[in-house]
A and B are shown apart, each in its own frame.
Chain A
Amino acid sequence: MDELIAVLICLFGGLTGGLVGVGGGVLFVPALTIYIGLTQVEAESTSLLMIVVVAIVGAYRQHGYGNVRVREALIVALLSPLGVLLGVVISNNVSERALQLSFAALALLMAAQLVNRARSA
């Protein structure tokens, strides 16, 4: 039963990924911890593998639809390891609560701007 729920959550995670262009980790991680019983670190790592598979298929389909700019995607991806290092430095110097609240504020700001832009489009 637990495995079936995990399968359904992952199906939904992939669906969300395809619809809004994210990897789906937001849903894969809880599926792996709660229903498969992995630890948080194992779940986040295993979720990365799933995200890669989902992103390959999703990007391939979107490329077929004419919705991928390969060069721009490469520049974004190649700079991300620098960001990961930066993240490690920041997390060692700023309290976790402050980080959570600042990211929440950023997420709300981006949400408001997206809605604004979509309404005026």
Chain B
Amino acid sequence: MPAAATPDHAIWKLATIGTLAGAFSGLFGVGGGTIIVPLLILWFGYGERLATGTSLAAIILIGLLGALAQGGIYGNVHIETGLLLAIPAVVGVVVGTAIQQRIPQRAVSYLFALLLVVMAVELILS
């Protein structure tokens, strides 16, 4: 095993993050990122950029499994609409990741905290 490998207890923590991300996305329809990013920062001490990049990579697979289940089994995915609206969204994510490299990492934590507070207020009022 390479020296830099994640230790065993850390793998359990990663597995817990994955399980929680799946549970919350199933329960609330929110993407797993809401759980993955803060826990990578708080449990693993990841810097904000590393946490958000790793989160996006995990979301590829999490979203794909969800979309395949919804699209393949239930036929609920509007493919054309989704792909068309993905165009502006992709422009947004390219700009967003570029901006992120140029602002202090802690600013990302503050933005994320704001997002979490908005979500909490929405849930309480709903």
Residues of A participating in the B interface, judged by any CB pair closer than 8 Å: 6-8, 10-26, 28-29, 31-32, 36, 38, 41-42, 44-59, 61-63, 65, 67-88, 90-91, 99-101, 103-105, 107-108, 110-115, 117-119, 121
Contact = CB atoms under 8 A, between A and B. Distances in A.
A54 B89 contact: yes
A12 B92 contact: yes
Contacts of A11: 88-89, 91-92
Contacts of A90: 23, 27
A82 B19 contact: yes
Contacts of B19: 79-80, 82-83, 86
Interface residue tally on B, bucketed by range: 35 or more
B24 to A, nearest CB: 7
Given A36-B81, A53-B83, A108-B120, A48 B23 contact: no
Nearest to B77: A45
A96 B14 CA distance: 27
Given A80-B32, A101-B123, A111-B116, A57 B18 contact: no
8 contacts: A20-B112, A36-B81, A46-B81, A48-B66, A48-B67, A71-B6, A90-B27, A114-B110
B3 interface: no
Interface in B42-64: 42, 49-64
A115 B82 contact: no
